[in-house]
Amino acid sequence: MGKTKDSEVEERAKWDNKLQYLLTCIGFAVGLGNIWRFPYLCQIYGGGAFLIPYLIALVFEGLPLLYLELAIGQRLRMGSIGVWNSISPMLGGIGIASMIVSFLVGIFYNTILAWVLWYFFHSFQNPLPWSQCPVNANLTGYNEECVKSTPANYFWYRETLNITPDIETSGSLQWWLVICLASAWCVVYICFIRGIKSIGKAVYVTTTFPYLVLTIFLIRALTLPGSIDGLVYLFTPDWEILKNPQVWLDAATQIFFSLSVAFGGLIAFSSYNEERNNCERDAVVVGVINSATSLYASISIFAIMGFKATNGFNSCRNENIMSLTNHFEFSEQNITLENYNDWFEYLNRTSPDDLASLNLKHCDLQTFLDQSASGTGLAFIVFTEAVIEMPGSQIWAILFFVMLFSLGLSSMFGTIEGVLMPINDLKLVPKWIPSEVVTAIICLIAFLTALIFTLGSGNYWVEVFNGYVGSVPLLIIAFFEITAVAYGRGMKTFSEDIYFMTGKRPSIFWKACWMVISPLMLLMVFVAYVAIQAQTHPSYPSWDPDYELFPQTKMLKYPDWVFAIIILLCVLPVISIPVVALYKLICCSIKKSSARGELNPYCNDSFEVETREQKSQTP
């Protein structure tokens, strides 16, 4: 048995070098949320003030969890199921839970990459298709839905999603999204076809390219008018907002989900390391780079958002200037953007009645800067509108969507690894089936499952999966992970494991976090999250051209059957944790009871047999 185990360790795949491993972990941790979620939270939660709860959550929650996963995977050299089974057979459900969450997240995450591909393909058109409204069917004017909203909104909701007015109206499969979805899964499969050997090559591009694009965007944005206004708006702190407990909750959840812990992917990646490797340094490097990327992306994004806000502010004032010029019969160029405020004050003193009759728009730069958006709203609507206003818009659109695809693809590597490794741990597939075939089957199943997201109601389902699959289940899994290591494996044993790998034992800070601080923070975040969600019936924004306040989105409550699916998505991934524990406990009880029956101390059968044998041997 010892030789078999050694041979298995020797046959285990390894990274070609340390850089591949770090780039893969960074690529898995740094994802789309760093681009479209963190800047949004900074914007709505007091700018620079949000960094305080964010950094506290990073130090006391994010880094300890990240360090623990990298360390336990490297020491035991197994996937998520194998790791927890080796600590205790009753903990095997943690690995199954991680596998289910990874699969569910992967199917909707790759759908977002399909949307990115659709926009990328259209970025080569001149002019960009979301820059102007299409003509109507009668060729007598522009499309009414587009005119009522904006070209960017129309291209997203109608040309891309062909969205239905509510989640209960499914609509049909959109063939263009099906093709893009198939293409996205083909790219994932090609990059994953040889496991970490092919992933290790791909991450040199997928992980580093987004930083190049962000830098190019930042340099270009800083040369545009209004970029400094965007940066000032981002970093001006509002200290009063720190009194709001929702800020601390969102900071804790953001850092937790941003690091991609509890998916099982980080455990799998670290298991390909050499046993003697400084995993503490790796955890700090990955965690710090992830948070620094969020901040760096915010600077680039808000520099461009400042430019967009300034353009909107100037357009608003130009419309007012046109109205003033026509009404008061001024010569052109008499009122300019530079002297607009002076003219407005003068006319307000001399002709207040005439000025009031014009119903001029209220133009305030702060109002335009306050127009917040996150997620798909930022990527596919707000940012695409900003790109239109930049010279050479096609080039910037291509760069932006290639960057998004690279970010999402590198995150998909860890997500798929979090599915494939547990399948190997469970020995669900015979060894004679090549790993390439197993990967192809998983990608095919994921693609067929994800077809629900290409329906007319697909965007609503993406929001359901995004909001609930990647929230409560991950918090529960992480809580069981950290308590399993701290109290199941034991802090003394785990400290010796780290000493064996790094040459030094963990400091009192790490031990305090693993044993007390991090579990308590996870428990508090979980309770607070569930309490907030339970206060109101979940609702969603719908796009309905017949809505009286259109183009505003219409808030609808989820129907009861969708609410039941939401509960199922929260419970299904983690139900394996108590089920496996209970199953192992029952099996253990049965074995013990059968063992007692075989070795009954009150039974003298063996003594009687021995006595009879002795009597028969005597002459």
30 is in an annotated binding site: yes
pLDDT given for residue 5 in this prediction: 41
pLDDT given for residue 597 in this prediction: 56
Tell me: the pLDDT tens digits for 538-563?
999 999 999 988 888 899 999 999 99
pLDDT given for residue 28 in this prediction: 94
Where is 542: in which H helix or E strand?
Answer: strand 539-542
pLDDT, averaged across the chain: 88
pLDDT band at residue 309 under the 50/70/90 scheme: confident
Nearest alpha-carbon partner for 265 in 374, 427, 103: 103
Q: Rounded to an integer, what distance in angstroms lies between the CA atom of residue 354 and that of residue 361?
A: 15
Residue with tokens 């060729």: 139
pLDDT given for residue 234 in this prediction: 83
Whole-number percent of the chain with pLDDT over 70: 94
Structure tokens at 368: 């335009």
258 is in an annotated binding site: yes
Q: Rounded to an integer, what distance in angstroms lies between the CA atom of residue 265 and that of residue 390?
A: 39
531 is in an annotated binding site: no
pLDDT given for residue 598 in this prediction: 56
Alpha carbon separation from 306 to 194, 226, 268 (Å, rounded): 44, 5, 41
Asked if residue 368 lies in contact with residue 312, where contact means CB atoms within 8 angstroms, the answer is yes
H helical segments located in 427-505: 435-449, 458-468, 472-483, 491-502
> CB under 8 Å, gap of 24 or more: what pairs does 276-280 form?
276/500, 276/501, 276/502, 276/503, 277/18, 277/74, 277/501, 277/502, 278/501, 278/502, 279/67, 279/70, 279/71, 279/74, 279/498, 279/501, 279/502, 280/67, 280/71, 280/498, 280/502, 280/506, 280/510
Q: Rounded to an integer, what distance in angstroms lies between the CA atom of residue 573 and that of residue 104?
A: 9
104 is in an annotated binding site: no
Q: Rounded to an integer, what distance in angstroms lies between the CA atom of residue 547 and that of residue 412?
A: 37
Is the confidence at residue 584, as pLDDT, over 70? yes
pLDDT band at residue 1 under the 50/70/90 scheme: very low
Is the confidence at residue 9, as pLDDT, over 50? no
Quick one: average pLDDT of 126-141? 88
Tell me: the pLDDT tens digits for 415-428?
999 999 888 888 88
Quick one: average pLDDT of 261-273? 93
79 is in an annotated binding site: no
pLDDT given for residue 373 in this prediction: 63
pLDDT given for residue 596 in this prediction: 63
Asked which of 224-228, 541-545, 609-613 is least confident by mean pLDDT, the reply is 609-613
pLDDT given for residue 613 in this prediction: 46
pLDDT given for residue 11 in this prediction: 63
170 is in an annotated binding site: no
pLDDT given for residue 75 in this prediction: 94
Most confident of 160-164, 216-220, 593-597: 160-164
Q: Which residue has the higher pLDDT, 74 or 49?
A: 74
| Residue 210, C-beta contacts closer than 8 angstroms, at least 6 positions apart | 30, 403, 406, 407
pLDDT given for residue 372 in this prediction: 59
Asked which of 11-15, 293-297, 379-383 is least confident by mean pLDDT, the reply is 11-15
Tell me: the pLDDT tens digits for 426-457?
888 888 889 899 999 999 999 999 999 999 99
Is the confidence at residue 612, as pLDDT, over 50? no
Is the confidence at residue 227, as pLDDT, over 80? yes
pLDDT given for residue 156 in this prediction: 95
Quick one: average pLDDT of 6-16? 64
Quick one: average pLDDT of 295-303? 90
pLDDT given for residue 3 in this prediction: 40
Q: Which residue has the higher pLDDT, 76 or 375?
A: 76
Most confident of 196-200, 283-287, 378-382: 283-287
Structure tokens at 213: 């694009």
